[in-house]
């Protein structure tokens, strides 16, 4: 299977079966984001304890890129310390900003194992869609800015 095809399968799987869809009960922080250029909406509930994300729930409507990115993000951040999540966000946005070339792994930001998220790197060839992929991460940054 060609890599592009594999990536497309991963994106469609997350789009059709979003992970951690829903809302959180109990103490949590909440953030919402929109990408008007595509009509994507995304909302995020995060439970943070002792500097670590212990639970996350997502809701959204929009294109497959935005919703798959949110699903992969929710899966990637639970169980991680906040500084790891900050590094992951940095590295994801770095990946999306580089046109072709190798996967970026910023050596100074080690929390960078992107896993399934690498499936979104093909999106960077379509600049208008980069905002779709970035939406959940921008929403995440908004949520994290509310932490202590």
> Which 106-145 positions form the footprint of Zn ion (CB under 5 A)?
132
Contacts of 25 (CB under 8 A, 6+ apart): none
Instruction: Please tell me the total number of residues recorded for the chain in this structure.
Output: 148
Among 24, 29, 38, 54, binds Zn ion (CB under 5 A): 38
Q: How far is the CB of 26 from Zn ion (least distance, A)?
A: 31
* Minimum distance of Zn ion from residue 45's CB (angstroms): 21
For CA atoms 99, 128, 22, 49, give the dihedral sign: positive
Of 24, 29, 47, 63, the one binding Zn ion (CB under 5 A) is: 63
Q: Encoding tokens for residue 97? A: 């900003």
CB 15, min distance to Zn ion, A: 11
**Min CB(23)–Zn ion separation in Å:** 22
Q: Identify any residues that bridge with 52 across adjacent strands, giving them in sequence order.
A: 49, 81
Q: How far apart are CA 140 and CA 41, in angstroms?
A: 13
Residues of this chain, 3-32, that bind Zn ion according to CB under 5 A: none
Nearer to Zn ion, 40 or 134 (CB): 40
Number of residues that bind Zn ion (CB under 5 A): 5
Q: Name the DSSP class of 50.
A: T
As measured in angstroms, the least distance from the Cβ of 49 to Zn ion is 32
How many C-alpha atoms does 96 have within 13 Å on its Cβ side? 24
| Partners of 21 in the β-ladder | 58
Nearer Cβ to Zn ion, position 33 or 104?
Answer: 33
Which residues are registered as beta bridge partners of 49? 52
List contacts with Zn ion (CB under 5 A): 38, 40, 63, 66, 132
């Amino acid at each position: 299977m060609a890599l592009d095809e594999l990536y497309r399968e991963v994106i469609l799987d997350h789009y059709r079966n979003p992970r951690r869809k829903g809302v959180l009960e109990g103490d949590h922080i909440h953030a919402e984001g929109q990408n008007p250029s595509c009509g994507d909406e995304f909302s995020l509930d995060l439970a943070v304890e002792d500097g670590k994300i212990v639970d996350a729930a997502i809701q959204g409507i929009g294109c497959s890129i935005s919703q798959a990115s949110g699903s992969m993000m929710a899966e990637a951040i639970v169980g991680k310390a906040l500084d790891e999540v900050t590094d992951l966000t940095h590295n994801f946005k770095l990946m999306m900003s580089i046109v072709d070339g190798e996967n970026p792994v910023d050596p100074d930001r080690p929390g960078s194992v992107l896993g399934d998220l690498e499936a979104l790197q093909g999106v960077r060839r379509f600049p208008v869609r980069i905002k779709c992929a970035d939406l959940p991460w921008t929403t995440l940054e908004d949520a994290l800015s509310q932490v202590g």
